[in-house]
Amino acid sequence: MKKIISGEKFTMALFIGLIITGIAMQYIYTVKADIAKSFVRLHVIANSNSQGDQDLKLKVRDSIVEHLKDKLKEANSTEETKSIIKKELESIAKAAQEEIFANDYNYAVTVSLGNYRFPTRSYEGAMLPAGNYDALRIIIGEGMGENWWCVLYPQLCFTSSQSGTLPEESRQKLKNVLTEDEFNIIAGAKDGSMPVKIKFRLLEIFGRGE
């Protein structure tokens, strides 16, 4: 009799576990999708990993960030941001190409706005889960080198910190476009609570299978 009861308990526990796992997976996928829809990223890919090409990548980055700084200042949504970028694609390509030529390189540059796959990445203390994000992508030459990225919306590319943590201005911008739960997952709860860490770990795990 005891074995039967034990078996019933095991079956019930397994059933409940499957339900909880299903709910957790649905939660994770929903959060991942909502987070991705809240951002527009800038993605600059170097020609190669040589020191010269990596230095050039950063110079192109700086020129593009400066070029877009005022243009995106009043953008209040991802759609507004993408609309402005679409209109500026030609001028963005021109600014990137001029920077390349100014540094005595003859690489071609490819500029596009699309939806691209990104791995889990950290940015000044914040963590963005793996997923598909809208992004302005700039490929220098062969595009075989390490890349650099930042966030054009909300406008995090235009604020920086030497401490490796999100400046308060950037935290506020994130709070304006994310739910409290999404913000805590990305920027981390101030008390460093374990539930937030567990949730982000789940985002990473489920993100690998997409």
* Chain-centroid distance, C-alpha 113: 15
Residue 55 has pLDDT above 70, yes or no: yes
Q: Where do the structural domains in the chain lie, given as residue ranges? A: 34-207
Please state, for a pLDDT cut of 90, what percent of the chain lies above it. Answer: 48
Confidence band, pLDDT 50/70/90 cuts, at residue 23: very low
CA proximity to 31, closest of 117, 174, 130, 116: 130
Chain segment 133-149, per-residue pLDDT in tens: 999 999 999 999 999 99
174 pLDDT exceeds 90? Answer: no
pLDDT in tens, 77-107: 999 999 999 999 999 999 999 999 999 999 9
- pLDDT at residue 138, rounded to an integer: 98
pLDDT of residue 24: 43
Whole-structure pTM over 0.85, yes or no? no
Angstrom CA distances, 119 to 84, 154, 170, 204, stand at 26, 19, 22, 9
